[in-house]
C-alpha cells in the first residue's frame, strides 16, 4: 500500500492558506504532479501515515477554495439536567463536507452537601455525563464527565484541590466557573450531543440547580495535531477505565486497539491507594499490537510520564502539555518536596490525577496499539536500567517487587484513528 508523509499535506495546506489564489493553483498543480508519480513519491515518503487515497481526499479538503469555513453551535441557559438523557445540540453536514466540534463548556449550581459552604456551589455539573454521537452511531463513541475530561479526578473544592487555576488552552476549569474542553472532534455526517445525570447526586429541583451549556464547531476546519494534518476520515474516540481496582504489579490496559492506525492524543489518569508506591509504575506503548515486551518505554515512572518527578514532588501544576491537577498523600522521608503543603500528608496513602497531551511528541501507531501502565513495578540493580524492563520477575536473578497496595484507577485516553 502506498503511503504519504503528512508533511506534504502540511506544505500544500500552508501554501494555500498563506498566499492568494495563484498559490492555491500552484500548490494544487504540484499535488497533481506528485499524484501522477505515485511510485516515486511513495518511495521518498514510505514511512508516512496517509495512503494515497487519503492524501488525495485530504488535498481536496484543504486546498479546495469552494469549501468555506462555517461556524455552528448553540447554548442552553438555566436548564435542568436530570436522569433523562437530553439532546442539547444536533448538526448535520452536506455530502463532501467535514464537521469539527471545537468547544464544550458547562457549569451549574447545586446545594452543597451538609457542612459545606457556601450553601450553593458550582459543582452542579461535576457528575453530568456528556455524550457525543458521531455519524449516526447508536452508542456514543465519546462519553465523559467534565472534570475527568479536564484531567481532574477528585473533588477540587477540597483543600488539596485547586479550583482557581486548573486551566490550559485545551482543557480546564476557570476559577469556580465552568469546565471547558477545546478538543477537535471531527465527523462526516452528523453529530448529536446529549447530557444526563449519573444518579450519584439528587435529582435537581425545578427552578433550582440550573445548568448552562455551550457547544460549538466549524465546517471544513483542518484538524491539525502539532504539525500533522489528519486525514478527512480521522475520528476521535474516548477509551475509559472507571473506578477499577488493580493489584500491585498488575498491568493496567489504558488502551487496547488490536488493529488500525492513528495517534494517541490525550491521557488523563486518576489513582488512589493506601500506598504511594503505585507511582513507581512505568508506561509502555506497543505498536503494532503484537510487539513484544517492553515495546516502547514512555516513562520511567508514573509521575515521569506527566513531566513531573519524585512522586509529584512539587504538588499541583498546570501546563499546556501536562499537569498534575490533584495530589494528596504521603512522601518518602528521604525526598524533599515543595508546593502547596496541603498536597502532602503524613502516612503512605496517596491520590493523584494528571493529564498529558501528545502534540509535540506524537504517539503514532500502525497495526493497532496497546498503552499499558503498571501498578508499582519490579527492580533489579544488576540491570543497566534497574526498573521498567522486567516483565515476569525472576527472584533468582535478583528481581524484587517494589511493593504497593490495591489501587483504584480511572483513566481517559483520547485517540484519533483512521
Residue with cell 504519504: 4
Distance (Å, whole) CA 368 – CA 142: 19
Torsion sign (Cα): 25, 30, 32, 33: positive
**Domains located in the chain, CATH noted:** 3-63 (no CATH), 70-221 (2.60.120.1390), 232-417 (2.60.120)
Check residue 332 and give its pLDDT: 79
Burial 16-35 (b: 16+ CB within 10 A, else e): beeeeeebbeebbeebeebe
Q: Kindly tell me if the per-residue pLDDT of 56 is higher than 70.
A: no
Say yes or no to pLDDT of 284 above 70: yes
Q: Residue 31: which H helix or E strand, with range?
A: helix 21-36
Is residue 312 left, alpha or beta, with left meaning phi > 0 and alpha meaning psi from -120 to 50? left
pTM: 0.81
3-state secondary structure of 118: coil
Query: Which residues sit opposite 215 in a β-bridge?
Result: 74, 104
pLDDT higher for 47 or 125?
125
Grid coordinates of 76: 442552553
Please name which of 48, 37, 65 lies closest in space to residue 10, comparing C-alpha atoms.
48
Q: How many CB atoms lie within 10 A of CB 63?
A: 20
**What pLDDT, in 10s, does the model give residues 357-405?**
999 999 999 999 999 999 999 999 888 888 999 999 999 999 999 999 9
The Cα 260–Cα 258 span in angstroms is: 7
Amino acid at each position: 500500500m502506498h503511503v504519504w508523509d503528512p508533511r506534504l499535506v502540511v506544505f500544500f495546506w500552508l501554501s494555500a492558506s498563506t498566499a492568494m489564489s495563484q498559490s492555491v493553483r500552484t500548490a494544487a498543480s504540484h499535488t497533481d504532479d506528485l499524484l501522477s508519480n505515485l511510485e516515486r513519491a511513495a518511495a521518498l515518503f514510505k514511512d508516512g501515515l496517509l495512503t494515497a487515497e487519503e492524501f488525495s481526499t485530504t488535498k481536496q479538503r484543504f486546498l479546495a477554495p469552494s469549501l468555506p469555513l462555517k461556524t455552528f453551535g448553540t447554548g442552553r441557559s438555566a436548564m435542568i439536567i436530570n436522569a433523562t438523557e437530553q439532546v442539547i445540540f444536533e448538526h448535520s453536514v452536506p455530502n463532501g463536507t467535514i464537521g469539527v466540534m471545537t468547544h464544550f463548556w458547562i457549569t451549574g449550581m447545586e446545594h452543597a452537601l451538609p457542612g459545606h459552604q457556601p450553601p450553593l456551589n458550582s459543582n452542579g455539573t461535576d457528575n453530568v455525563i456528556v455524550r457525543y454521537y458521531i455519524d449516526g452511531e447508536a452508542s456514543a463513541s465519546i462519553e465523559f464527565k467534565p472534570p475527568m475530561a479536564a484531567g481532574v479526578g477528585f473533588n477540587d473544592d477540597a483543600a488539596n484541590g485547586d479550583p482557581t487555576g486548573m486551566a490550559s488552552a485545551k482543557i480546564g476549569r476557570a476559577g469556580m466557573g465552568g469546565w471547558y474542553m477545546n478538543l477537535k472532534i471531527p465527523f462526516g455526517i452528523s453529530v448529536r450531543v446529549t447530557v444526563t445525570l449519573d444518579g450519584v447526586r439528587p435529582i435537581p429541583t425545578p427552578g433550582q440547580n440550573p445548568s448552562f451549556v455551550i457547544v460549538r464547531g466549524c465546517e471544513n476546519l483542518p484538524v491539525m495535531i502539532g504539525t500533522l494534518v489528519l486525514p478527512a476520515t480521522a475520528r476521535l474516540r474516548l477509551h475509559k477505565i472507571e473506578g477499577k481496582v488493580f493489584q500491585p504489579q498488575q498491568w493496567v490496559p489504558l488502551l487496547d486497539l488490536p488493529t488500525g492506525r492513528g495517534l494517541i492524543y490525550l491521557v488523563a489518569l486518576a489513582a488512589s491507594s493506601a500506598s504511594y508506591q503505585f507511582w513507581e509504575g512505568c508506561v509502555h506503548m506497543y505498536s503494532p499490537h503484537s510487539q513484544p515486551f517492553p515495546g516502547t518505554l514512555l516513562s520511567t515512572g508514573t509521575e515521569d510520564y506527566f513531566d513531573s518527578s519524585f512522586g509529584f514532588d512539587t504538588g499541583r501544576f498546570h501546563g499546556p502539555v501536562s499537569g498534575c491537577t490533584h495530589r494528596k498523600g504521603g512522601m518518602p522521608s528521604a525526598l524533599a518536596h515543595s508546593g502547596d503543603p496541603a498536597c502532602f500528608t503524613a502516612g503512605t496513602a496517596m491520590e493523584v490525577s494528571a493529564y498529558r497531551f501528545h502534540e509535540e511528541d506524537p504517539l503514532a501507531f500502525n497495526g493497532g496499539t496497546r498503552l499499558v501502565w503498571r501498578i508499582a513495578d519490579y527492580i533489579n540493580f544488576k540491570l543497566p536500567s534497574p526498573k521498567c524492563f522486567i516483565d515476569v520477575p525472576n527472584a533468582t536473578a535478583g528481581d524484587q517487587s517494589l511493593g504497593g497496595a490495591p489501587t483504584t484507577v480511572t483513566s481517559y485516553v483520547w485517540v484519533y484513528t483512521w
